[in-house]
Structure 1
Amino acid sequence: MQKLLQKEARVWNEKILLEHWVCCHNQLTPTFQQVPIHWLISSQAERCQQVGTLLMVCVWQRMKDIVKEVLIMAPIMEFKDDYRFLSNFYPSPFVYNDVYFSTNEHFYQAHKAIDRNDFLQIAQAPTPGAAKRMGGTVGCVHQWNVYKEQIMYVGLEHKFHNNPHLKQMLIDTGDRMLMEGNWWGDKYWGICLKTNEGQNRLGHLLMILRGQTGGV
């Protein structure tokens, strides 16, 4: 009787191992799926070792998939490196009302100016940083704070519409949250990383533009 029970237990264990193998086999990548089930070898100890190895492969593959999913959905925290193109300082030439702008920063800062000459000087500034500094010194249009988001959005539309490669890069960000994290204390257009405070208005406008059908 004892030998019979031992035999049944061994058969049952082998059945469980085989079920684990089939489960593992079905979840593996196509390369591993080509391995036939009869590849199981005779020794039970060797079977355990083989199934354990294959289960580890399954776990590793699933972990890679999870990491990939997390990265796809992770927010873009700063407009730098691969995402520098989201910055207003990124080269993105376009013409608006017969005036050439090399970046959206030039466009935005120029529209602060009341005087036409100031407008053109800012538009022709050698760098976006220079345009920003000049925009802070000129006479500003009435109720600028009321209209500034509209101006920013129009500039973003032209930036991406006139530069198809940037448009595709924006689309490729998928559904990820866009956050202009910064260290210079801009709490309106971005989020100050020193305090984790900010309205992130530039990020929101970019996400609106990205989400509109044919918006860019």
Structure 2
Amino acid sequence: MPESPSPAVINFYSTQDEYGCFSNFSAHPIFLKGKRWRTTEHYFQAQKFAGEPDEEEVRMAKSPMIAARMGRDRKRPFRRDWEAVKERVMLDALRGKFTQHEDLRAILCGTGNAKLVEHTVNDDYWGDGGDGSGKNRLGQLLMQLRKELLAETNAAAHS
């Protein structure tokens, strides 16, 4: 049987959806910076306070939602370079997640050339804003990572 073609667009948001593993809230721990992080959300939010006590507090948050709330708390002082480094931090988190979990790597690579979209009205930077007007940076970084992982796989197959 031929494989069915992957959809042209894959929307994700809830961890309960078919592609819920693409959410930063998905329960897939990562090991980065010498520490275990419960989710990529924990890692991403904590990096707003890298080197400060707040970083460890966020790392230890009981859920990704709590980590997100802590990371968005403007009473906590963000690192000065956050806007300049946030996309690299997100890519590092995603790279950790999709290289440390073979099953997730297979799911991501299995999306073929589909456009990956974090479909939510709650975010117009990382997501699509719910109506496609957002930047969808999370989806774009996932597609960038997919391209890197597929290139690695192809290179290994031809060596």
Q: TM-score range by the shorter chain?
A: 0.7 to 0.9
Partner of 1:149: 87
The separation in 1 between residues aligned to 2:127 and 2:134, in whole angstroms, is 6
**Gap regions ≥5 residues in structure 2:** 154-159
Superposition misfits of 4+ residues, deviation over 6 angstroms: none
Asked if the contact 1:93–1:159 (Cα under 8 Å) also holds between the matched residues in 2, the reply is yes
Counterpart residue identity of residue 11, structure 2? M
Q: From 168, 171, 177, give the equivalent of 2:106.
A: 168
Taking the TM superposition and a 5 Å limit, the aligned residue runs for 1:137-216 are: 137=73, 138-184=76-122, 186-193=123-130, 195-212=131-148, 213-214=151-152
Q: In 1, Cα distance between the equivalents of 2:98 and 2:144?
A: 13
What's the TM-score once normalised by structure 1's chain length? 0.63
> Which protein shows a greater Rg?
1
More helix by share: 1
TM-score by length of 2: 0.85
The question of whether the paired residues in 2 share the 8 Å contact of 1:112 and 1:141 is answered with yes
Quick check: 1:79–1:85 contact (8 Å CA) kept in 2? no
- Give the length in aligned residue pairs: 146
The RMSD of aligned alpha carbons is 1.9
**Equivalent position SS for 1:77:** strand
Q: Which amino acid aligns with 1:168?
A: A
Could you tell me which runs of 5 or more consecutive residues in structure 1 were left unpaired when the two chains were aligned. Answer: 1-64
Between the two structures, name the one with larger relative contact order (CA 8 Å, sep ≥ 6): 2
Q: 1:34-49 residue pairs with structure 2 within 5 A? A: none
| Within-5 A mapping of 1:33-182 | 69=5, 72-80=6-14, 81-114=17-50, 116-137=52-73, 138-182=76-120
